[in-house]
Amino acid sequence: MTLRFDGKVAIVTGAGNGLGRSHALELAKRGARVVVNDLGASVDGAGRASSLAEQVAEEIRVLGGEALASTASVTDWVAVQEMVVATLERFGRVDILVNNAGILRDKSFAKMDIDDFKLVLDVHLMGAVHCSKAVWDIMRKQQYGRIVMTTSSSGLYGNFGQSNYSAAKMALVGLMQTLAIEGAKSNIRVNCLAPTAATRMTEGLIPAEHLALLAPEAATPALIALVGEDAPTRAILCAGAGGFERAYVSLTRGIYIAPAPDCAEQVSARLEEISDREEETVPESGAAQTLLELGKAFAARAA
């Protein structure tokens, strides 16, 4: 079945370039009316090229779609709320939010300034918080919403020189986990996309022979699947070069050790057993994980 978005309204942040532009164009081709948000910043977040969002909005119109440009910085809570008000005035609803805007300030942790750490957190994490918060009540009232956080393999697995970016990207996974739980009763589904694409952000990082394979358009199908009517919720999809995978924050079965003065020594000695992945699960929530631990303690007491 073709995934269509007729009648749906999508906001895509950072849609002036790279992945966001690809997502916005694909959503529009599939019938969505799209708000193209982009501050027009350079890769490190400096500057403003305010015509960028309008250029992509115009590309959508040329294709026969409907688009509205927004130059709000996702770091600006007031501007983000104004963007959502403008979306409602123009299109009457918001169904889909793609939190994609992002910057890089790479340096080894030893050399990184605290300000570079904070700025990267502000754009990726607080940017997504602002946009999600601004649409949350609208989605709750209409009992429909699809939100995607753009995470990264750098957050999920780490990368040299990206402590700020990794922390921000993994924070988005945590935000997704809880918003998915809180949004479930309102039919708001929240997922993460970890894309890999040759964009200006990865210029110089991706070898020339891989550039063609890693077109942003190769990651966009995963985004489309995450915002459709039948989208999953709490999924972390990785996508790049035609590869699609799902990442999980999983939990091993683990063991129970009764309180004892040598408990730390026992944990140390039995680390392999604790780490055994044979019966790994993905708990439904943090509280569910706590219940699993309590279950072990009760079982040991009853034995």
Ligand X SMILES: NC(=O)c1ccc[n+]([C@@H]2O[C@H](COP(=O)([O-])OP(=O)(O)OC[C@H]3O[C@@H](n4cnc5c(N)ncnc54)[C@H](O)[C@@H]3O)[C@@H](O)[C@H]2O)c1
Q: Enumerate binding residues for ligand X (CB under 6 A).
A: 13-14, 16-20, 37-41, 43, 45, 73-75, 100-103, 123, 127, 150, 152, 195-197, 199-202
Nearer to ligand X, 18 or 144 (CB): 18
Name the residue number minimizing CB distance to ligand X.
18
Phi, psi angle pair for 246, to nearest 5°: -120, 130
| Residues 98 and 12: beta-carbon distance below 8 Å | yes
Phi, psi angle pair for 243, to nearest 5°: -90, 135
CA distance 246 to 239: 9
Nearer to ligand X, 101 or 231 (CB): 101
| Residues 193 and 223: beta-carbon distance below 8 Å | yes
Nearer to ligand X, 73 or 163 (CB): 73
CA distance 222 to 10: 16
> Shortest gap between Cβ of 24 and ligand X (angstroms)?
11
Nearer to ligand X, 144 or 223 (CB): 223
> Shortest gap between Cβ of 161 and ligand X (angstroms)?
14
Residue 165 annotated as catalytic? yes
Nearer to ligand X, 164 or 199 (CB): 199
> Shortest gap between Cβ of 153 and ligand X (angstroms)?
6
- Which is the catalytic residue, given 157, 165, 248, 256? 165
> Shortest gap between Cβ of 14 and ligand X (angstroms)?
3
> Shortest gap between Cβ of 229 and ligand X (angstroms)?
24
Active site residues: 165
